[in-house]
Amino acid sequence: MTVIAIDGTFASGKGTLARRLSEQYNLPHLDTGKLYRAVAKIVLDAKDDPDDAKSCTQAAQKINSEMLADPALKSGPIGAAASKVAVHPPVRAALLRYQRDFAAKGGVLDGRDIGTVIYPNADVKLYIDAAPQERAQRRHAELIGYGEDISFETVLTQLKERDFRDANRAIAPLKPAKDAHLIDTTNLSIERAFVASVKVIDAVLAAKATKK
């Protein structure tokens, strides 16, 4: 049973990487951002406030697997609200079991706190980052692709706000685990980032196997 934890900043490429790695190692994949996005969607649909811990916690208790397949979760406004619902400790507590149960069967999980909080015993931990300008360009192109009408400057400003909120919240802030392997994708294509990640993972798994 192998667990690969992939944490990192918004639009760093960690989601695409996690999907490719789950195929490479034949492991199920959980994009944990979708849990927070699904909570945000319930809250926004009910016209509740993402800053209100009580309505967010009630929403978090309703989350199930089917909700994670909703394509509407990808939108910019839901992502921004997700980083607000994610600061409430009871919301994180309500989503913890789902993530740990998933990891306990082996898998690739990507998010912000997988290697630090959700599964500190993961076999391999990667931390993916890239320069803000580069991440904003990627995200801008993606949102335009979804038909959203938004400027690059707005995407960059929102991305910096999101980074700040994720890195400075009191509970489970975004940071690399001490034993995480850092991969900077600023100048890497998806393919090169994938190759670099496989190299790290294979080396860590091989070293573990010889220790057994």
Sign of CA dihedral 24, 114, 59, 72: negative
Residue 37 contacts by C-beta under 8 Å, 6 or more apart in sequence? 73, 74, 78, 79, 82
Residue identified by tokens 């619902």 is: 85
Alpha carbons 89 and 133: distance in angstroms, whole number: 30
3, 10, 130, 180: residue in contact with ligand C5P (rule CB under 6 A): 10
Binding mask 23-62 for ligand C5P (x = CB under 6 A): ---------xx--xx-------------------------
Per-residue binding letters, 85-124, with ligand C5P (x by CB under 6 A): -x------------------------xxx-----------
CB of 36: closest distance to ligand C5P in angstroms? 3
What residue ranges in 44-153 does DSSP mark as E strands? 107-111, 124-129
CB nearer to ligand C5P: pick between 82 and 183: 82
| Site of interaction with ligand C5P (CB under 6 A) | 10, 32-33, 36-37, 79, 82-83, 86, 111-113, 162, 166
